[in-house]
């Protein structure tokens, strides 16, 4: 059936209709024409059925055309309706009055019908074009502010609504909640039942969730299966709980789709405004988004409140990682070297490379002040590799200067267990072919081996095949020290400095230290004591049979340039009761 095209409607208002009889008859061939014989009647007809054009006589009793026009322009539904005045006056001032009131044209009596028809036809065409443009603009505005699928506000409209809500909340001294909602299992619905089912689910749940909120609240779809709700006018934070539970219930209710029932749940994060620190709308959304992920990790189908303290911790950690990465790029890290000696014969048996951070504001930072922050970060691998390469480069420089001395490097857990650790170490050694691999020792913290003992054992054996030695560092502090000692093929254990430092005044530490030294002797493994802070410490170590040591009682860590001078000038303490000869170490 062909759809009937509506003809434009013209309302003619004249107290003497015969004045327009000829014109109305001509117009009726292509337009629907109504006639009103007074201003009041014309207004009533226009209100009942707004016309596309009004022909309005100026000179009428009771209410003239100017007054009718004023009243038309005062009514929202009629204010844009085009008006053509019809008059026998030739008064320029009257024409200006009409045009000022909003008339679009004048027709003078007697009316020239064909000319009037042409002008009316052209005016209606322009009016139709104007309305189509306005409709298109309105449609574009809707698309710019509303989600085309769910008809909910989109991100742009959400920003406007939130700006208004934040201002209103501050004025009223109340609370505002921002909730970030993500559907659990929506991807599975799309993958299993298709996008049509997914769209149907989104539309249905959007309607349900919107109904779960109050009239003044906002629910927006900001993408995919993500929604944001803005809950204003809350007396306190607890007032949001009933609405959050209603949102979760609405999202988890089954949705019929053909013969199938679709069902998902929702994870919801929430944050509140105002906060102690100044915060904007976008930051509130990010906070709620972060809390939403906490809800997912906690099991889904629930809501979690944003934890500001945790967020500060996360942001601080991120900033620290950026600072450390920047420090690595800008060459702020340096290595210092602490000598290791045999107390019995006064040989310097090696040096341990220790990283330091020359921080531009905080000065020289020790490893404990920054290394724990990178333990579980990929940056630990890059930093650890820098230490290896820098230490090997320094050993090469010493060798060229005639100083051949073993060097030990600490290896972190993440670095050691990385898939290409052995290959990268092999490449680093190949870059210094003059260095004997036996002059390189890698110190492995007990905690480094906790991830996968079998894998760590394989890594150690692969490195040993290159000639590199391994030591188990901070021995005795882990809960499974003996297990590591049994399964890991290390050539040396380094007793943690906490036992050595306190042994002079703590019988328990002394007993543990003696046991560890005896255990190493029975297993035929070298043992070195860290933390030999005084001469008294070194003497006690010698008495219990521990000959290898390092610590402040021997030498503090020093820059590489100072080590040759220290080797030339260092003298063992007389209390060590040494053999006559004293030589420095070598690697063969």
Does residue 271 belong to any structural domain of this protein?
Answer: yes
| Judgement on whether residues 116 and 213 belong to the same structural domain of the protein | no
Does the CA dihedral 446-447-449-452 come out positive or negative? positive
| Judgement on whether residues 23 and 138 belong to the same structural domain of the protein | yes
Alpha-carbon distance 36 to 58, whole Å? 13
| Judgement on whether residues 159 and 112 belong to the same structural domain of the protein | no
**Run means of pLDDT, 10 residues per run, the chain, 588 residues:** 72 83 82 90 92 89 90 89 82 74 80 82 84 79 85 92 92 93 94 93 96 93 95 90 93 94 95 91 94 92 86 77 93 96 92 96 92 86 95 95 94 87 94 92 73 83 93 74 78 88 89 88 90 91 92 94 94 72 46
Does residue 55 belong to any structural domain of this protein?
Answer: yes
Alpha-carbon distance 46 to 135, whole Å? 21
| Judgement on whether residues 533 and 451 belong to the same structural domain of the protein | yes
CATH number of the domain residue 471 falls in: 3.20.20.450
| Judgement on whether residues 86 and 230 belong to the same structural domain of the protein | no
Alpha-carbon distance 490 to 470, whole Å? 5
Contacts of 482 (CB under 8 A, 6+ apart): none
Contacts of 85 (CB under 8 A, 6+ apart): 56, 57, 58, 65, 69, 95, 98, 103, 105, 106, 107
Q: What is the pLDDT of residue 444?
A: 86
| Judgement on whether residues 89 and 161 belong to the same structural domain of the protein | no
Does residue 441 belong to any structural domain of this protein?
Answer: yes
| Judgement on whether residues 388 and 530 belong to the same structural domain of the protein | yes
| Judgement on whether residues 131 and 160 belong to the same structural domain of the protein | no
Does residue 360 belong to any structural domain of this protein?
Answer: no
Class of residue 500 by CB neighbours under 10 A (exposed 0-12, middle 13-18, buried 19+):
buried
Does residue 15 belong to any structural domain of this protein?
Answer: yes
Does residue 563 belong to any structural domain of this protein?
Answer: no
Alpha-carbon distance 548 to 550, whole Å? 7
| Judgement on whether residues 226 and 257 belong to the same structural domain of the protein | yes
CATH number of the domain residue 136 falls in: 3.40.50.2300
| Judgement on whether residues 436 and 526 belong to the same structural domain of the protein | yes
| Judgement on whether residues 508 and 464 belong to the same structural domain of the protein | yes
CATH number of the domain residue 217 falls in: 3.30.70.270
| Judgement on whether residues 392 and 541 belong to the same structural domain of the protein | yes
Q: Domain range for residue 161?
A: 155-307
Does residue 587 belong to any structural domain of this protein?
Answer: no
Domain count, the chain: 3
């Amino acid at each position: 059936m062909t759809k009937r095209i509506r003809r434009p409607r013209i309302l003619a208002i004249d107290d003497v209709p015969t004045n327009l009889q000829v014109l109305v008859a001509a117009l009726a061939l292509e337009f629907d024409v109504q006639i009103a014989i007074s201003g009041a009647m014309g207004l009533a007809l226009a209100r009942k059925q707004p016309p596309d054009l009004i022909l309005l006589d100026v000179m009428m009793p009771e209410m003239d055309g100017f007054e009718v026009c004023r009243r038309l322009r005062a009514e929202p539904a009629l204010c844009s309706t085009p008006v053509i005045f019809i008059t026998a006056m030739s008064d320029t001032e009257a024409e200006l009055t009409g045009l000022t009131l909003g008339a679009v044209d004048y027709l003078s009596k007697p009316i020239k019908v064909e000319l009037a028809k042409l002008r009316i036809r052209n005016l209606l065409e322009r009016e139709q074009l104007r309305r189509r443009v306005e409709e298109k603009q309105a449609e574009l505005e809707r698309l710019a502010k509303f989600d085309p699928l769910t008809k909910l506000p989109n991100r742009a409209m959400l920003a406007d609504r939130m700006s208004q809500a934040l201002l209103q909340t501050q004025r009223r001294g109340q609370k505002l909640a921002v909730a970030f909602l993500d559907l659990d299992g929506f991807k599975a619905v799309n993958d299993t039942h298709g996008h049509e089912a997914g769209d149907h689910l989104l539309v249905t749940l959007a309607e349900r969730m919107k109904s779960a909120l109050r009239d003044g609240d906002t629910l927006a779809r900001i993408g995919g299966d993500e929604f944001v709700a803005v809950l204003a006018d809350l007396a306190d934070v607890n007032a949001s709980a009933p609405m959050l539970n209603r949102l979760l219930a609405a999202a988890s209710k089954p949705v019929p789709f053909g013969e199938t029932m679709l069902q998902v749940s929702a994870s919801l994060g929430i944050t509140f405004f105002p906060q102690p620190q100044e915060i904007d709308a976008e930051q509130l959304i990010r906070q709620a988004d972060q809390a939403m992920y906490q809800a997912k990790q906690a099991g889904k189908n629930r809501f979690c409140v944003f934890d500001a303290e945790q967020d500060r911790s996360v942001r601080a950690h991120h900033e620290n990682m950026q600072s450390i990465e920047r420090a690595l790029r800008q060459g702020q890290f340096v290595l210092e070297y602490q000598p290791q000696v045999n107390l019995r014969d006064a040989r310097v048996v090696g040096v341990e490379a220790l990283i330091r951070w020359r921080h531009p504001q905080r000065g020289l930072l020790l490893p404990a002040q920054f290394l724990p922050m990178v333990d579980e970060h990929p940056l630990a691998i890059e930093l650890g590799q820098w230490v290896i390469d820098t230490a090997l480069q320094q050993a090469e420089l010493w060798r060229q200067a005639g100083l051949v001395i073993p060097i030990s490097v600490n290896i972190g857990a993440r670095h050691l267990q990385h898939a290409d650790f052995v290959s990268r170490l092999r490449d680093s050694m190949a870059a210094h072919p003059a260095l004997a691999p036996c002059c390189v020792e890698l110190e492995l913290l007990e905690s480094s081996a906790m991830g996968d003992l079998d894998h760590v054992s394989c890594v150690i054996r692969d490195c040993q095949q290159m000639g590199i030695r391994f030591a188990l560092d901070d021995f005795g502090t882990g809960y499974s020290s003996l297990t590591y000692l049994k399964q890991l093929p290390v050539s040396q254990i380094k007793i943690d400095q906490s036992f050595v430092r306190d042994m002079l005044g703590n019988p328990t530490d002394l007993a543990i230290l003696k046991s560890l030294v005896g255990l190493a002797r029975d297993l035929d493994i070298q043992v070195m004591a860290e933390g030999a802070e005084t001469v008294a410490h070194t003497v006690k170590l010698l008495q219990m049979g521990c000959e290898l040591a390092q610590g402040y009682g021997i030498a503090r860590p020093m820059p590489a340039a100072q080590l040759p001078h220290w080797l030339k000038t260092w003298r063992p303490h007389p209390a060590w009761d040494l053999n006559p000869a004293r030589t420095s170490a070598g690697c063969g």
